[in-house]
C-alpha cells in the first residue's frame, strides 16, 4: 500500500481518503468488480462517497497504470488491481471472471508478420465458456 502511495505521488495525484479506500477495496476484491459494485461496497465505509468519484478515480488509476480495465462482453467495465501478468476466463452465463496464468503463452512470440506493424504493448487472452456451476443448472 505504501508503494501505491509512492506511485500516486509520483504521478502528481493527491492522496485522498476516497482514493485510498477505492484502491484498497479493489485490491481486496477478487471478482473484478464494476464501478457500481465498488460503490455499493464502499458505501458501508464512506456513506457519502459518490459514484462519480469511483469513476473518476478508476479512470485516473487506469491512466497511470495502477489498475487495469478488463474487456468483458458486458456493458459495465470491470477492473482489476492485480498487476501481475495474467489472463482472464469468463463464464458467459454468470459473468464471473477468473484469473489464470499462462506462462507458455507469455513466452511465445507473436506471428512474424506483425514484426513491422508497430510497437506491441500488451497482449491479452480471454477465454470464454460456461463454468461448472452454470453447466449443471442448465
**What is the rounded CA–CA span in Å between residue 81 and residue 24?**
9
Q: Would you say 93 and 130 are in contact if contact means Cβ atoms under 8 Å apart?
A: yes
Q: What is the dihedral of CA 64, 11, 1, 35, to 10 degrees?
A: -40
19 binds, among DNA, its own copies, none (CB under 5 to 8 A by kind): DNA
Contact footprint for DNA (CB under 7 A)? 9, 13-19, 34-36, 46, 48-53, 55-57, 59-60, 75-77
Q: Does 15 bind its own copies (CB under 8 A)?
A: no
* Residue 129 CB, nearest approach to DNA (Å): 22
CB atoms within 10 A of CB 37: 17
Q: Would you say 36 and 51 are in contact if contact means Cβ atoms under 8 Å apart?
A: yes
Q: Does 65 bind its own copies (CB under 8 A)?
A: no
Q: Which residues bind its own copies (CB under 8 A)?
A: 69, 71-73, 89, 91-92, 98, 100-102, 104-105, 108, 110-111, 113-114, 116-135
Amino acid at each position: 500500500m505504501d508503494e501505491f502511495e509512492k506511485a500516486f505521488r509520483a504521478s502528481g495525484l493527491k492522496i485522498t481518503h476516497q482514493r485510498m479506500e477505492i484502491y484498497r477495496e479493489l485490491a481486496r476484491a477478487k471478482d473484478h468488480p464494476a464501478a457500481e459494485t465498488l460503490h455499493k461496497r464502499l458505501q458501508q465505509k464512506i456513506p457519502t462517497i459518490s459514484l462519480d468519484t469511483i469513476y473518476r478515480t478508476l479512470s485516473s488509476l487506469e491512466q497511470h497504470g495502477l489498475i487495469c480495465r478488463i474487456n468483458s462482453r458486458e456493458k459495465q467495465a470491470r477492473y482489476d488491481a492485480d498487476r501481475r501478468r495474467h489472463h482472464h476466463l469468463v463464464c458467459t452465463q454468470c459473468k464471473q471472471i477468473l484469473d489464470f496464468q499462462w506462462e507458455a503463452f507469455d513466452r511465445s512470440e507473436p506471428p512474424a508478420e506483425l514484426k513491422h506493424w508497430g510497437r506491441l504493448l500488451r497482449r491479452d487472452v480471454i477465454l470464454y465458456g460456461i463454468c461448472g456451476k452454470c453447466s449443471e443448472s442448465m
